[in-house]
Amino acid sequence: MADVEAKWFSFMPGDVVLCATGNEWGIFKPLFKWLVGEFGHAMLYVFEKDGMPYFVEARPKKGVSIVGGGNYKGTHIKILRLKDNAPYYGVLAASDAKERAFDPSTLYGFADIVSCVVKLFSQKLGKPIKAWRPNKWVICSELVWECYGTAGVDLDTGPGIPLPGDFATCPQLEKIFEGELVV
């Protein structure tokens, strides 16, 4: 597929956007990639304005917020969409994500990172455990998963807090595009 296919017009509300693990992890990047895989960040497409895609994401220091696609220009992404042509649920998930972005009580879940580390190591050791409790604090992939849950879709991402890469193997989602984000 050509890069032009990743422009805003190919997005639909509720598309799951996975971002490749970048250099923000410095010397820990190999360990991070071993633990979480190729994709280290997940967000939801919510709308387009003036030709720019906008996403809702959860990030440290920012919490849950709406960001423009320019922040991810040139980033290797994978766009996933619900199978069976179910755009209604994507719209509901995007609507829930936008509400969370304006809810000051929805914060980044630093404590959930500990649960993720426990989940990751237990999976790598072949003994997966459930290490998650719902709360108002979320990490990026948990935000995506909970927004779809609110929309009535239980994305099958395995036990515990979902990680960005878990969406790539989720049976309810299909890949629409993979390549650099062009805005």
pLDDT tens track for 113-170 = 666 666 666 766 776 655 445 556 678 888 999 899 999 998 987 776 788 888 988 9
Q: Can you read off the two tokens belonging to residue 13?
A: 């509300």
* pLDDT for residue 6 is more than 80: no
* pLDDT for residue 182 is more than 90: no
* pLDDT for residue 3 is more than 80: no
Q: Can you read off the two tokens belonging to residue 174?
A: 């299909």
Instruction: Please give the domain boundaries of the chain with CATH numbers for all domains.
Output: 3-180 (3.90.1720.10)
Q: What is the pLDDT of residue 136?
A: 62
Helices 140-150 and 87-101, axial angle in degrees (round to 10): 120
Count of C-beta atoms within a 10 Å radius of residue 88: 13
3-state helix, strand, coil in the chain (%, to 5): 40, 25, 35
Q: CA 62, 68, 71, 72 torsion: positive or negative? A: positive
Mean pLDDT of 77-106: 88
DSSP SS3 for 128: coil
